Chain A
Amino acid sequence: MSRVVVLCPGRGSYTEASLGSLDPDHDLVRAAERRRADFGLEPLLALDTSERFEPARHLRPAHVSPLIFVKAMIDATEAARGHEVVAVGGNSLGWYTALCLGGALGFKDAFRLVQRMSLLQEELAEGGQVLYPRMNEDWSPSAELAAAAEAALASSGGEALPSIDLGGYVVLAGSKKGVSHLLSTLPQVRIGSVTYPIRLAQHGPYHTHLARSVSDAASREFADLPFRRPEVTLIDGRGRRHSPWSTDVAALAAYTLGHQITAPYDFTASVRVALREFAPDQVVLPGPGNTLGGIVGQVMASEGWSGVHTKEDFTALQARTTPFVLSLGLARG
C-alpha cells in the first residue's frame, strides 16, 4: 500500500465545476445536513444541486466552508481506504478538515467548528484577502514580486499583513483600508491567463490579528470541544507535527482556536515538512477543485523534491502513470 500525505483544501477551492459533487446518500452528507438544520441554514444539497453557480450565494462563507469540508472529507475518507495515510495537513479551512480526517475531532464536532467559524467570519465585516504571486510563469522565484509584496505591506501603515504563505503565491490580508492599499500599490502582473493582485471574494482578514474577535469568540464557544489525540500525524499551519502518540491535546486546541486564526498560516512549511519528514509515495489532494495542486508542485520545485526543479519537471512527473500529486477534485472534475 502506498504511503500518502493528504492535504486538505482551503476556501478558495470551490468553483462552478464543483457543483453536483455531493452524493446525497453518503453518510457524511446526511450527517452534515442534520447539522445544517441545527444551524437553520439551507441544505448543502440545495446548494450543490443548483442549476447554476451563483458566486454571492455559493461563496458565502457559511455555505462554501461546509461544502468544501464535506466534499474533502468524503474524498479523503475514500482515498484512505486504498493508501496508508502517513500524515494530514491542510490550508487554512483545510486545517479543520485535517483535524477531522486525522481523528483529532469527530465529524459532528468538526462540522460544528467549520460551520460556526464561517459564521463568525461573516461577522468580521471589514477587510479581506488579496492573492499575489512571488514567482514567474515558469515557477522560478521572482525577487521583484516578493519585494513588491514586502514593500506594499511595509507602506500600509500596519493596515495590511501577511496572511498565508502559499508556495509560489502569498495571501496578504488587511482592513478595508489595507486591502485598498494593496490593490492600488501592488504592481499588476499576469501569470497565465490571470492578472494579479486578486481580491479573494468574501474572504476576511484571516490569519492576522484583525481576526482576533473571531479567535476570542471561538475560544469561548469551543472551550468544551472534545479534541483528542489524532490517529495519524497532523501537520499544522506552522509546519509543526502532532503525532498520534504524543500530541498535547490542549496545545492542539489552543493552536486551532488561537494562533491559527490570528497569525500567518504557513502552508508552504506544512508541505515542506510533509515531504521531508514523511517522504510520501504520493500527495493526495481531496476535492473540490485543484487549487493546491500547483502550490504543492511549486513547493516541490523549491525543495528540488523527487528531481522536480521547474514547472516542466513537475508536469513531467505528473504525466506518469501514477502522478505524484493525486488531485481527486481534478480527477473527477
Chain B
Amino acid sequence: MSTNRVAVVEGNLDEFLASGARAERLLEAHEPLRAGTALTARRAVELWEDQVLSRCLDVAARELKREGEGFYTISSAGHEQNAVLGAQLRPTDPCFLHYRSGGLMAARSRLVDDGTPLFDTLLSFCASSDDPVSGGRHKVWGSRETWVPPQTSTIASHVPKAVGLAYSLSRAKKLGVQTGLPDDAIVCCTFGDASVNHATALAGINSARYAWRRMNPTPVLFVCEDNQRGISVETPRRWIRDFFSRLEHLRYFEANGNVDEVWDTVALAIQTCRTTRQPTFLRLRCHRLWGHAGSDVESAYMSQEQIEAAEARDPVLTGARRLVETGAATCESLGEIVRTTRERVRAAAREAASRPKLVDVRTIVEPLAPSDPERWRAAATAAIPASDRTEVFGKRLPEAAKAPTRRTLGARINDALHDEMIRRRELICFGEDVGRKGGVYGVTQNLQTQFGRSRCFDTLLDETTILGVAQGAALAGLLPIPEVPYLAYLHNAIDQIRGEACSLQFFSDGQYANPMVVRIAGLAYQRGFGGHFHNDNSIGALREIPGLAIAVPSGGADAVRLLRGAVAMAAESGRVVAFLEPIALYHMRDLYEDGDGLWLSDYPVPDGSPDSALLPGEVGIAHADHSDVLVVTYANGYRLALRAARRLAEEGIRARVLDLRWLSPLPMDEILRHAEECGAVVVADECRATGAGVADAIVCGLVERGFRGALSTVRSADTYVPLGPAADVVLLSEDEIVAAVRAVPGVPA
C-alpha cells in the first residue's frame, strides 16, 4: 500500500516545528543570518512565508483534484528555493517561467502592492474563467503587472523568445521604441535539468552566446532548476555543470546549500547579468517532491531511500531549520505561519472551486485571433507622407520607375518592405542572409543600407532562433518581419509559431501579444532545381495552427497590398501572420508567352486609397464574366489556371478563376458566392494531395454550406518533390487543370 508522501512531508515539517528547537539568541530583523550574507532575518522569514504559501497551494491542488474541482497537480514542491529569484529580480525584469515556479511567483507578487498570489493560483488550478492570467484556459504562471508572459513551458520552448527579448532591449532603445523597461533590465528564463536537453532550449542558449560573441548585449539569466530528474529518468550526476560551466560566452553560477548561500549566489548572478549584459547561467539545486505530477507514482522508479532522501532535503523544512538555528525565527512563529497559511489556502480553495468555468467556444477562442477589419483597413491604407518616402527612395519611387515601369513580384515585395519600414519606425526585418546580401532572392535588397543594421540584420542560421528573436522583439515593442528562407526549414522550428507565438494571446487572455509577419519563401515550380528542401509544397502544418493567418500572393501588386494588410493585422491586433512567398514567381515576368510581361505589375501607391491593401476574405477574380466553371486556386496554381483558362476559352469553355490570396482563414463566403454563380467548381491545389493544401477544406466547406454543383479537385502527388524534370511529373500541371475542367459534367465540350 502506497504511503501518502504529501502527508509525510507535511508531517516532517510539523514535527520539526513542534520540536521546540531554539537558537541561543534571536536575531534582530535587520541582522544578517550569518556574517557576510546579505540576507537579513526579516527578509529570510518573508521569503519562507512565500515558500510556505507555494507549498500549501500545491497541497491544495491535490485536494482540489481529489474533489473533482482542480485540474492541475504539477507542483512546485521541492523547488521553492526559486522564491529567492522572485524576491531579488525586479518587476521590470521580464520572466519566462517553467511550471514549478510557485515560490518565485509568490515572492514576485510582493513587488506589487495589491498582489493576490494565493487566490490567483487557486483560480488557475480550478481552470476558472476568473483566473487573471489565462482566463481559465490553462494553468500557467503569468502576470501583466510584473512582466511574466505566460506559456506552458513543458519542453523549454520558451527559451528562444527569452533570448530574443534580451537581445531586443538595446535595439528597441536605439530605435526610440518604448519598451516600458529600464535600461538595465534583464530577462530571466527558468527551466528544468531535463527540459534543457531539448533542441529548442539548446538553440536558445546557443543563440544568446552567439549574440554576445558578436558584441550584442544579451542580458538573459538562464536558470536551470536542477532536481536531477526528468519524470522517471535520472539526470547523470554533474550533467548540467559539466556542460554549461565550460561554455564560452556564458557566465556560470551554482546556487546550492542554505537559503543564505543561495540568496548571495543568486544576487551575484543577477548583478553579473545586469551589469555586464552578458548571458548568464545559474544552476539552482532543487529537489522534486511528490513525483512529476499527481498521477506520477514515484515508487515505480525510485527506491524508498531515494524518495526519503529527497524529502529530507525539502527546502521548506531545511529553510525552517536554518531560520531557527540562526535565530531568525522561532519554531512557534514558523508554526503560526504554517497554520495560518494552511487555513487561508483551505478557505480560499472553497471559494475558488465555486468560481465559473469556461463553457462556450466563443469565449474560449476570443483572444486567439482578434479581428478588427475596419482598423486594419485604416492602418494598412493610410497614406505615407511623400516627404518620408522621398527621403528613402529619392527619385526612384517604385511607382515612378521608368525602365521598366512594371516589375516582378520579388521586386514589389522589396518595394513594399521599404514603404512599411518608412511607415513604421518600429518595424525590423531579419533572417539568414537578409541583411548584407539582401536575401537569397534579393527580396530584402537595400533595406540594410537604407534603414541601418539595427532595423535590418542577419541572424545565425537557425530558424528556431529567428522565430525566437521575433517573439522577443515583439514583446519589446518592435514589429518584426522575420524571414524563413525556405518553407521546408520552417518545420524544424514550427513549434515556435505553433506552441509559442500563436498561443501567447490564448494563454494570456489577450494581455500579451507578439505581433509579427513571418515571411516564408516556399512552394515549388523551380524548373527542376532545388529538390524537396527548396520546393516544399505543404502548408498543412501552418493551416492547423489556431489563430495564424496565412497570406499567399501570386502577383506583385497583390503581394504589396497583402503585405500591408498583414502588417496592419499584426500592428493593430497583435496577430501572427505567415506571408508565404512563391519562390518560382519571384522573378517571373511572363504569363502566356515569352516576353509578354504579363506577370509584371505596377506598384500600388500608398496614397490613402482604400484598395491599396488587401484583408482576409478579399479574393482575386479573373474572367469575372465567365461562368461555366469556377477554378479555385492560389500562387503558382493561379498562373497555371489562367493559362488553362485561355486554352479552355479557345474550346468555348468559359472558366472563371479565383485567387484565394488567404489560405487561413479561407475566404469561404467569396468562394461560395462565385461557386453558386458558376455552378461547378474545380479546386486546383499545388500542394501535395493529402493534408498539405486547402482542397479538402474548400470542398468540405462548399458542401457544408449547401453547394450542390459539380465539385472536383486536382492536386500535386503525395511525395517529396524530386530533383530535375521529375519535379514536373509530381506537381499540379496546366494540363491537369484543363482536363479537370473538361471533365466537369455539363461543361460545353
Which residues of A are at the interface with B, using a C-beta cutoff of 8 A? 3, 86, 229, 238-240, 243-249, 266, 269-270, 272-273, 275-281, 304-307
Contacts and interface: CB of A to CB of B under 8 A. Distances in A.
Nearest to B53: A277
B132 to A, nearest CB: 10
B602 to A, nearest CB: 48
B232 interface: no
Contacts of B49: 243, 245-246
B114 A266 contact: yes
Contact of B348 (A270, A279, A304): A279
B351 interface: yes
Interface residues of B, number: 29
Contacts of A247: 42
B524 interface: no
Contacts of B343: 3, 86
23 contacts: A3-B343, A86-B344, A239-B114, A240-B114, A243-B49, A243-B337, A245-B336, A246-B49, A249-B29, A269-B113, A270-B114, A275-B119, A276-B116, A276-B118, A276-B119, A277-B118, A277-B119, A277-B344, A278-B344, A278-B347, A279-B119, A279-B350, A304-B130
B114 A306 contact: no
Contact of B355 (A240, A275, A304): A304
A305 B356 CA distance: 12
Cβ-closest 9 pairs across A and B:
A239-B114, A276-B119, A246-B46, A279-B347, A238-B113, A279-B348, A276-B116, A269-B114, A246-B45
Nearest to B41: A246
B353 to A, nearest CB: 11
Contacts of B354: 307
B333 interface: yes
Interface string B309-350: 000000000000000000001000110110010011001101
A288 B114 CA distance: 27
Interface in B55-114: 113-114
Q: Which of B46, B113, B333, B354 counts the most chain A CB atoms within 10 A?
A: B113
Given A86-B344, A238-B114, A244-B336, 18 more contacts: A229-B29, A239-B113, A240-B113, A245-B45, A245-B46, A246-B49, A249-B29, A273-B116, A275-B119, A276-B116, A276-B120, A277-B117, A277-B118, A278-B348, A279-B119, A279-B350, A280-B347, A306-B351
A249 B29 CA distance: 9
A41 B411 CA distance: 88
B272 to A, nearest CB: 27
A278 B344 CA distance: 5
A245 B333 contact: yes
B336 to A, nearest CB: 7
B29 A277 contact: no
A292 B542 CA distance: 55
Nearest to A232: B340
A307 B353 CA distance: 12
Interface in B504-549: none
Contacts, number: 72
Contacts of A248: 29, 42
A272 B132 CA distance: 14
B351 A279 contact: yes
A284 to B, nearest CB: 16
A239 B109 CA distance: 12
Contact of B114 (A245, A273, A280): A273
Contacts of B336: 244-245
Contacts of A266: 113-114
B337 A245 contact: yes
Nearest to A239: B114
Contacts of A245: 45-46, 49, 329, 333-334, 336-337
B29 A272 contact: no
A29 to B, nearest CB: 32
Contacts of B348: 276-279
Interface string B652-671: 00000000000000000000
Interface string B20-43: 000000000100000000000011
B30 to A, nearest CB: 9
Given A245-B45, A273-B116, A3 B347 contact: yes
A49 B421 CA distance: 77
Contacts of B29: 229, 248-249
A127 B6 CA distance: 59
A279 B114 contact: no
Contacts of A280: 347
Contacts of A246: 42-43, 45-46, 49
A129 to B, nearest CB: 22
A243 B341 CA distance: 11
A135 to B, nearest CB: 20
Nearest to B344: A278
A272 B348 CA distance: 13
A307 to B, nearest CB: 7
Interface in B97-154: 113-120, 130
Contact of A305 (B45, B116, B118, B351): B351
Contacts of A243: 46, 49, 337
Nearest to B119: A276
A304 B336 CA distance: 30
Contacts of A240: 113-114
Nearest to A236: B113
A229 B42 CA distance: 11
Contacts of B120: 276
A272 B114 CA distance: 8
A281 B347 contact: yes
Contacts of B116: 272-273, 276-277
B356 to A, nearest CB: 8
Nearest to A307: B354
A305 B130 CA distance: 11
Contacts of A270: 114
Contacts of A244: 333, 336
Contacts of B118: 276-277
A246 B47 CA distance: 9
Contacts of A272: 114, 116
Q: Which of A86, A245, A269 counts the most chain B CB atoms within 10 A?
A: A245
A243 B43 CA distance: 12
Nearest to A305: B351
A147 B68 CA distance: 43
Contact of B340 (A86, A249, A273, A307): A86
A266 B114 CA distance: 10
B538 to A, nearest CB: 47
A214 B42 CA distance: 30
A313 to B, nearest CB: 13
Contacts of A239: 113-115
A272 to B, nearest CB: 7
A306 B348 CA distance: 10
A306 B347 CA distance: 11
